[in-house]
Amino acid sequence: MRIVAYNILCGGMGRLDPIAETLLDIDGDITALIEANDPNAVAYLAKRTGAHHALAESPSGPFHVALLSRWPIVEMINLGVRRPQLSRAALAAIVDTPAGPLRVIVAHLISGLGAELEAVRLAELRDILAHDGLDGVPTALVGDLNANSPDHPVDPDAAEPAVRRRLAAEPGLICHDVVEHLQAGGWTDALVAAGPDPVPHTFSTGFPSTRLDYIFANPALADRLSGAGVERNGFAPYCSDHFPIWADLAGAGPGR
């Protein structure tokens, strides 16, 4: 079973066909789309990839998230409606996979550098993870967390010039609170546990210097991780500002 996370940049309009080709090349079974801002675009990508789909619209802005799945999505909760303080959309869904029910949480946390915005991200993460019934259920937390990892240092020399200058002028901008909170809670970063070493950066495609995109597995799912990676081939460098990421799970899925 392959799980994919892909920020498609402002809905993907004007780039839907290369995005669809990228998704077909990755061949994911369950795909989280971040910045899935146009419902018609989500429906189009679902049709192109032969997937079921669900969309969670943000009640506070244009940044929606969606889920595509080879298998039926039997339950979906728009967490942004339950928790309107979130700056962007989030969803929790149950997918009826051949290996049993899998909960997928799709998150897109607020962006920006520095401790103040990291504190907002951490509060958003806690809100997202606070819904009932999480413990003991195999769960993947996926998406653009806009967070940096202590396991994957930022490369300031590769950043775009404005970011490079800011990093040089303002020490302490890079924070790890969000990722460290997940690690302390028993979540496993799929790219660190099962991916290449070093893990390629996922942002931006023009100046790849950091990783903002994650697939985390809770303790009930982590022992099934069998591989992970960042897709940087084909159209991937050209159809978004993020590279898509993927993680493989043993136990279900065509050919996996």
How many C-beta atoms surround the C-beta of residue 190 within 10 A? 29
The answer to whether residue 52 is domain-embedded is yes
How many C-beta atoms surround the C-beta of residue 104 within 10 A? 27
The answer to whether residue 116 is domain-embedded is yes
Is residue 252 very low, low, confident or very high in pLDDT (cuts 50, 70, 90)?
A: low
Task: Specify the pTM.
Answer: 0.95
- For helices 177-184 and 115-128, the axis angle rounded to 10 degrees is 30
Domain that holds residue 127: 2-249
Number of domains in the chain: 1
Residue whose structure tokens are 């591989």: 227
Cross-strand bridge partners of residue 65 = 34, 56
**In the prediction, which pLDDT does 256 show?**
45
**In the prediction, which pLDDT does 132 show?**
60
Could you write out the three-class secondary structure of 118-167? HHHHHHHHHHHCCCCCCCCCCEEEEEECCCCECCECCCHHHCCHHHHHHH
Residue 150 phi/psi, 5° resolution?
-65, -20
Note whether 141 and 134 are within 8 A (CB).
no
CATH code, 96: 3.60.10.10
The answer to whether residue 109 is domain-embedded is yes
Strands 225-230 and 139-144: unpaired
- Our separate counts of H helices and E strands in the chain read 8, 12
**In the prediction, which pLDDT does 82 show?**
86
Measured distance CA(128)–CA(30) in Å, rounded: 20
Amino acid residing at 146: N
Note whether 228 and 238 are within 8 A (CB).
no
Name the helix (H) or strand (E) containing 73. Answer: strand 73-78
The answer to whether residue 254 is domain-embedded is no
Classified as helix, coil or strand, 10 is helix
pLDDT in tens, 104-136: 999 999 999 999 999 999 999 999 998 666 668
Residue whose structure tokens are 């969803």: 91
**In the prediction, which pLDDT does 70 show?**
97
**In the prediction, which pLDDT does 115 show?**
96
The answer to whether residue 256 is domain-embedded is no
The answer to whether residue 176 is domain-embedded is yes
The answer to whether residue 85 is domain-embedded is yes
pLDDT average, residue stretch 228-238: 97
The answer to whether residue 168 is domain-embedded is yes
